[in-house]
Amino acid sequence: MELTKNDVHFVVSRLPKDVRELMQRSRIFLGGGFMRATIAGETPGDIDLFGPSVDVLDNAANKILAERPGAHKSTTRNAITVYQSPRLPVQFITRWLYDSAVKVAESFDFTVAQAVIWYSCCVEGEKDHWASWVAEGFYQDLAARRLVYTCPARNEDAGGSLLRVRKFLGRGYNIQPPALAAVIARLLSAVQPAKVDTRDEKATSTVLEGLLREVDPMTIIDGQPITDEDVEAIF
């Protein structure tokens, strides 16, 4: 499926000019929260970009950095991020690398995030244009503000999806028992029975808390989005 033409135009028109031009010159994909928030009328927290290799993404980040005097670049195990308050952070996701839009979309853990836009050029028989791909349930679940877990097959922190559920619930989304159970199962899959007696609630709670705190602190700090003060403390 594709986004409607109006939504593609709406999202692209709200990208910073330097990001838009970068996408037109590079094999870079836009996915995740910026698209969901823009289409849903929410306030985006950042811009997530994906690509086929760390080198491609690092070069792209350096191009954005060069266009923004006074900006800072930070590198974590998950992403290369360009910060320049009050502009939205631009994250080049390096933990998961993809060479196609479908692979990017299928990697997201909730259907309301399974939307990708990229600039299609140099394709024989086609004019250069902005292209898109979305999951079948994207529009319906976004309209219902419903979290449907996709159980993505990717290398991720076990507690990441549960912390994202917490974030979404704070924004008025809802999650039904089957989806919540699947998210919890992902977290529990990282618990090693040989090291903890799951009948001991206190011990199990401590292990689960540790798994939740393994989530990238650049993305979430004690359950709260990173602030400008946090960014300044890094540099």
In the chain, the number of structural domains is 1
Strands 47-50 and 29-31: antiparallel
Question: What is the C-alpha to C-alpha distance for residues 123 and 129, in angstroms, rounded to an integer?
Answer: 10
Instruction: Tell me the pLDDT band of 32, cut-offs 50, 70 and 90.
Output: confident
Residue 85 has pLDDT above 70, yes or no: yes
Give the closest residue to 151 by CA, choosing from 121, 125, 198, 114.
114
Q: Lowest mean pLDDT: which of 56-65, 120-129, 177-186?
A: 120-129
pLDDT for the residue 215? 56
pLDDT for the residue 4? 96
Sheet holding 129-134, edge to edge: 72-75, 79-83, 90-93, 47-50, 29-31, 115-120, 129-134
Q: Model pTM?
A: 0.82
Interhelix angle 33-40/5-13, rounded to 10 degrees, is 110
Question: What is the C-alpha to C-alpha distance for residues 32 and 117, in angstroms, rounded to an integer?
Answer: 10
Name residues whose C-beta falls within 8 Å of residue 137's C-beta, 6 or more positions apart in sequence. Answer: 111, 114, 148
Instruction: Tell me the pLDDT band of 122, cut-offs 50, 70 and 90.
Output: confident
Which domain CATH number covers 101?
3.30.460.10
Mean pLDDT of the chain: 86
Question: What is the C-alpha to C-alpha distance for residues 224 and 214, in angstroms, rounded to an integer?
Answer: 14
Question: What is the C-alpha to C-alpha distance for residues 234 and 231, in angstroms, rounded to an integer?
Answer: 5
Please write the tens of the pLDDT for every residue from 170-194: 999 999 999 999 999 888 887 777 6
Instruction: Tell me the pLDDT band of 229, cut-offs 50, 70 and 90.
Output: very low
Q: Which domain holds residue 204?
A: 5-234
Residue 220 has pLDDT above 80, yes or no: no
